[in-house]
Structure 1
Amino acid sequence: MKFCAEGHAVVVGAGPAGLFAARVLADVFERVTVVERDGTGDEQRRGVPQSGHAHDFLIRGHRIAEELFPGLGEELVAGGAHAGDIGRDMRWVIAGRPLVKGDSGLSTVVSSRTFRERHLRARVEVLPRVTVLGGQDVEGLSFSEDGSVVDGVLLAGDKGGKLAADLVVDASGRGSRTPVWLEEHGHGRVEEEKLKVDVGYATRIVRAPADVFAGDVCVNVLASPDSPRGGACQRVEGDRVVVTLYGVLGDHPPVDPEGFNAFAKSLAAPDIHEVLEVSEPLSAARRYRFPAALRRRYESMDSFPRGLLVLGDAVCSLNPRYGQGMAFAAMQASALSDHLRAEEQLPEPDVYFRRLAEQAVDPVWGMTLLSDLSFPGVQGERTPEMLEALELVGRTQFAATFDGQLALSCLRVFGLLDPPTVLLDPAIQERVHKTLSRQPV
């Protein structure tokens, strides 16, 4: 791109989406300032109430992070995180049956969210073009007189005032105030889509003997329409284990020790309960509730100011039970990077939002929508094509509990490397049919 040397970009939010955005913006702008409401040294940030729960870093996100921050995975492992092959070292249980295990050639790193975010932030903070302002809230956007251009942000508090910028990127999360500010300045209301899932989490930290994992770095017992409770059990840094249980449509796990363990015992497979049975509790259980997935259709707006882009959960907030959030943020930052490289001037918002939708939001939103609507109690339209796809994907996942090649196909979809439509390929469906026809009735 051909920005002037003194070009300045401001990123609102220092979560993973904001940190990934700052990294790609630093390739283009002379200065990048990240403004974060919470103190950047806080372990549990007020703006991220879900940070203490189990977090996956799906293989797609891990790959993008390694491209942006070479050696990050090795750095995390050196600090105590656990690397593992997603097919060999991670246990995936669907409808009570484990997927067939085997070498996939696809590795990622398992850690707590706070640990990973701290390392990402440290990598960003040492970039010579980037400054991180912690403990500083943004109370508004600065617009040109006619409202057609955003030329900075308005900072709150004693350090308040205008922070001028050539480009503002809002990565402030689901609670982003950009929709309100746009409407106040005459740009209309952004269309929103919601899918009510009412997912509830409960998480506690324990210490467990390594041998109870049988060599695995994590255990994922996935909820299914027949068994709408699930959980994740992850070995993380500090010789700790993060145990997260969840239920959909209001069936939420309790936080008292007896109720928590009983909920784990009720899952379709005993794996997580077996870990809890031999574990030493290190924390009380914490709960988190996610009422609905949310997508803001910025690409459909008739009016949008230049000088402003939106990214991360501020655009699309996914059902967290799929563990896609951090990888999704990385995918969106990758789309931003592609957009910046393709443009010859300050990015056009409509072109950016179309690219973001095509490269990142459409495929992941569609994937989670399909999975959420497999639960009969989730309200939403189910077309005949969708019902057929749900049946075929379900059969494929069941067949993957008998066939390693099908298991790898499923894991590539789980990891956002492939879209779920690959599971509908005639060659895969033929293998599914042959696999299931060999099983006893």
Structure 2
Amino acid sequence: MNDERHIERKLKLVHIITLGLAYMAPFAVFDTFGIASNISSGHVPFAYVFVFLAILLTALSYGKLVKKYPSSGSVYAYTRNIINPYVGVLVGWLSFIAYLSLPMINALLAKIFISSLLPQIPGWTWIVGLVVLITLLNIFGIEFAAALNIGLVFVQILVGIVFITLTVHDINSGTGHFMSLNELMPKLHELSGFFGASALLGMSFIGFDAVTTLAEDTVNPKETIPKGIFFITIIGGVFFFTVTYFMQSLIPNVSILKNIQGASPEIATIIGGKAYLIFFILGGMFSVFASGLAAQISASRLLYAMGRDNVIPKRYFGYLNKKTKTPVFNIIITGILALCALFLNLEQATSLVNVGAFTAFLVVNICVVKNYFTLDNKSNIYYIVTELIFPGLGLIFILYLWLNLNKFAIVIGVIWFIIGIIYLMITTRCLTKEPVDIAFEELED
């Protein structure tokens, strides 16, 4: 096989964790707090606990599958090999909505953050500027982008720590009170809103999934990727719960705020004044930049896997630049598509991420369950728990979250699915020709 078709392995565990956290965008906890608190009647911290359990079980399923198939493609690759090649193409098509939409979200957030400080400059300039800059950096090389993300993730966590410190100070000064365990739990009549908020917050954890597309960029992917997935999920869950616990303790009812959708900047002003607000917005920009960088990397790698497999034209999508060893065409096309943010609002882009991500999470758990029935030692209690019960519970959790998505997301998902079916029928001559199998390499240490 020609060396030009191989992505150079440069990423280590620290890179995988920081890229996953960057894609996850820790700062997203602030962007969604006001809306989620309003929907859940002030139970955001426990909603994160519920989502965390669902995501952790799914993360364990991803960890198992990436050991079996350590190659670019993520859920697309797993489904093709475990369930069916046709289903694999359709699942990859659906999951790509999430990969493609997250760069749009970051571009929209850049517009929102900077326009709040510089309203005199047209918002579209920030969208275009961010997309162009991120595209150039990713073309330059993934190692550079990953190293840069280490610093960007650190800044986001630092802003979060300062936020928590100021919030605790205000609570101790008599504003609000620390929530008890009973207050964290929703009442029976609040469950509908609670699950709706949980579905919204599910997007916060997207990131552990994204790094599975980087298996071919990673040193020893069979060990590094599963470890990275686990650490990304744990770090994200602890951070999200901690931040929202103190935010909800300070402001139990967000209806007292002037702008529920922009709750976090308003809270930042309350706890730290204008000086901290500027620091907070700068942290938001770091989050947007880091997440956008990681999101475009993952989207381009998924396109590369599909192009190499000739599901989409290999001449373009399966091409690697000889000098940078990066899929330059995919990076550019992903950047161009991210400019659709010029025509969408934040709610629309977020809905697209959710429908794609939850579909991928569902199918990954199904793949692990199906794989269990192929095992020779199915009666082994270890395999019953880890290969059947855990992914089965993850499947139930994620299915419930998927059913609580808003109608806009479901409609877009159905339309996108129909387009995928049409494309599959054309490329396989009405299913009389199987899609070409991906050439997975079973890599040694």
Q: Same fold (TM over 0.5)?
A: no
Relative to total residues, which structure has the larger helix share, 1 or 2? 2
Higher strand share: 1
Identify which of structures 1 and 2 has the higher relative contact order when contacts are C-alpha pairs closer than 8 Å and 6+ apart.
2
Give the TM-score, by structure 2 length.
0.28
